Amino acid sequence: MKHVAQTTFAEGVGRTLGRLWQSCVRLDRRATNWLVARGWKPGVAKALLMVLKLAALGALLYTTLWLALLLAFALAGAIIIRNDNGSYDEEHKAEWEHGHAGYGLYSYDGHRIDPHDPEDEQD
C-alpha cells in the first residue's frame, strides 16, 4: 500500500493562489484576444488592458486610504474617550448663582447663559 503524504496548510494556500493567478492570466489573455478579434492592434489592446488594471488598482488604493483614515480617527477617538476622566466637565459646569445680571445660570467664566429679560427682574 502506497503512503499518501498530506499537504500542509501553506502548500494548499500556495496551490490555491497559483490557480487563482493562472485564471487571472487566462482571463487577461482572453480579453486581449477578444479585442484583437474586434480589429484592435495587439499592442493597443495590451495597453488598454494595462490602463484598466492600473485604474482599478488606483480605485482600490484610494478606497483603502479612506478606510484606513476612518479607522485611524475611530481609534484616536476611542483612545481619547477611554482616557477622559470627566474633570473638564466638573470644572466648567454651569451653576445657579447671583451675578452681575442677577440670579441665574452662569457659566464657569461668569457669563449668564439662561434666557432672561432684565426688565422682568424684581429687586
Q: Give the residue numbers spanning the domain of 71.
A: 9-84
Residues 51, 102, single domain; the answer is no
Q: Are residues 29 and 72 located together in one domain of the fold?
A: yes
- Cα separation of 50 and 56, whole Å? 10
Q: Are residues 78 and 27 in the same domain?
A: yes
Does some domain include residue 30? yes
In this structure, are 70 and 14 located in the same domain?
A: yes
- 79 and 102: one domain? no
pTM: 0.58
Residue 61 maps to a domain:
yes
Specify the pLDDT at position 15.
96
14 and 40 co-located in one domain = yes
**Mean pLDDT for each 10-residue chunk of the chain (123 residues)?**
81 97 97 96 96 98 98 96 76 73 77 72 56
What are the grid coordinates assigned to 46, written together? 495590451
The answer to whether residues 105 and 74 belong to one domain is no
Helix (H, G, I), strand (E, B) or coil at 5: coil
Count structural domains, the chain: 2
- pLDDT reported for residue 120: 64
Predicted pLDDT of residue 32: 97
Distant-in-sequence, close-in-space partners of 49: CB < 8 Å, separation ≥ 6: 28, 31, 32, 35
**pLDDT score at 111:** 75
The pLDDT, as a whole number, for residue 88 is 66
Task: Note the pLDDT of residue 92.
Answer: 72
**Cα distance between residue 26 and residue 9, in whole Å:** 26
Residue 34: the pLDDT is 97
Please answer whether residues 116 and 101 qualify as being in contact, where contact means their C-beta atoms are separated by less than 8 angstroms: yes
Question: Is 71 within the bounds of a domain?
Answer: yes
In a domain, 89, yes or no: no
